[in-house]
Amino acid sequence: MSLADLPVNDYDQHYYEAIDAFTRHLDPRLGQRIIQWCDIGGRKYHVIGGKVSHAVVNPTFDPVSPAGAMSEYFRGNPSGKSPLEFLKEREPIRPEYRDRDARLRGMDEQGIEKVWLYPTLGMIYEELLKDDPEGVGLMFQAFNRWLEEDWGYGYEGRIFAAPYIALADIDMAVAELERALSLGATTVVMRPAAPTTANGRRTPAHEDFDPFWARVNEAGITVVVHAGDSGYGLNGYGNEGFSASFGEGARKPTIGFVTIERAIYDFLASLMFDKLFDRFPNVRVASVENGAEYLGDLFKKLRSVSRKIPGYWSEDPVETFKRNVWINPFWEDDVYEVVEHMGADRVVFGSDWPHIEGLPSPRDYLVEVKELDEDAQRLVMHDNADALNTPQPL
């Protein structure tokens, strides 16, 4: 089979949230505590936990930069443009960013079989409300009701939106998981972070969260850990925020350019140190849009710990990791190196469409896998996504 004929599933796509995505199903009396809109100088912003969020320049997404607007920049910026030059163009929001039938038509035009959808704003808002764990649960309870209505969890067997699960309040997290399972969800999504609970911060595989992981283990669905606001900062080594990376002075690199994978590194290492997969061997975790260049170093560190504390793990921790974790690399990562680390059956393609740092068209990625053999190409570009989407209940 030629690359042109290879079927493609896209395990990392996004929607742009509807204006009322967080408020449609939220008790209006909770708006001031949790989330509401405000107008400042003619622009709309979300107010979260009583504070105006400027995390996104235009959270209405209308107008918005075209899909893949910065792909050349992430290819190495051969033209030498400043980041802002790539973002000059704006267009009215496209129907396929918010409407599932329009999205299906777009998928047909792009030659994509199935897509898995994750939040845009939703991946950054838990951090902004983290000091109110119950509030976090209420916010995403409302958010997931919107998601069910506008996208669904398996629309036409081709669009699989993942409900967002926050572990901040474990009872609410389990309730959300149960509801999602009852509605046919095959994937749930969370951010790579140590949740802040009413009893303080906890590692994601802390025993306090065992009721959640036990139910995931039983149901056999996949937990996607998607890049988001994990609360990590630059600790004074650079200015924080979007403008520091893509705005004024962005030509000067900061430590943020080399620590982008720090959150997922810590998250996955923590799962291993807490022996999540020993307690719940049927749990599958997929790291999405977190990159993959850290893998070699992480594996060295895990084996180093294993030597220093002999007998802590019942087997080589790297083998446990590779049995229970799947990796979606950045599209600009060296996929051959990732396959060498993980095996082709544990690497899954995702384009990040239609975000600015994603690919203009998902099938543009096919050139990146041309040196893999045909079986490996099909695994990475198609079959692994289907496998992760198929529950393996106990």
User: What pLDDT, on a 0 to 100 scale, did the predictor assign at position 85?
Assistant: 87
Per-residue pLDDT tens over the stretch 217-253: 999 999 999 999 999 988 888 777 655 555 555 567 7
CATH code: domain of residue 111: 3.20.20.140
Is 32 within the bounds of a domain?
A: no
Q: What is the pLDDT of residue 247?
A: 52
In this prediction, residue 340 carries a pLDDT of 98
Could you say which residues of the chain have pLDDT below 50?
none
Q: Note whether residue 221 is domain-resident.
A: yes
Range of the domain at 231: 3-21+61-388
Residue the block writes with tokens 């893949």:
68
Q: Which two tokens stand for residue 281?
A: 């061997």
Q: Is residue 41 part of a domain?
A: no
For the chain, give the number of residues: 394
* 38 is a domain residue: no
- 163-193: per-residue pLDDT in tens? 999 999 999 999 999 999 999 999 999 999 9
Residue 250: per-residue pLDDT: 57
117 is a domain residue: yes
Selection from 262, 257, 134 nearest residue 194 by Cα: 262
Whether residue 54 lies inside any domain: the answer is: no
Specify the 3-state DSSP secondary structure of 127: helix
Helix (H) or strand (E) holding 160: strand 159-161
pTM of the model: 0.97
Does residue 27 lie within any of the structural domains?
no
53 within a domain of the structure (yes/no): no
Helices then strands, counting H and E runs in the chain, come out as 14, 12
Contact status, residue 38 vs residue 141, Cβ threshold 8 Å: no
**DSSP state, 237?**
S
Residue 103, classed as helix, strand or coil, is helix
**Number of domains composing the chain:** 1
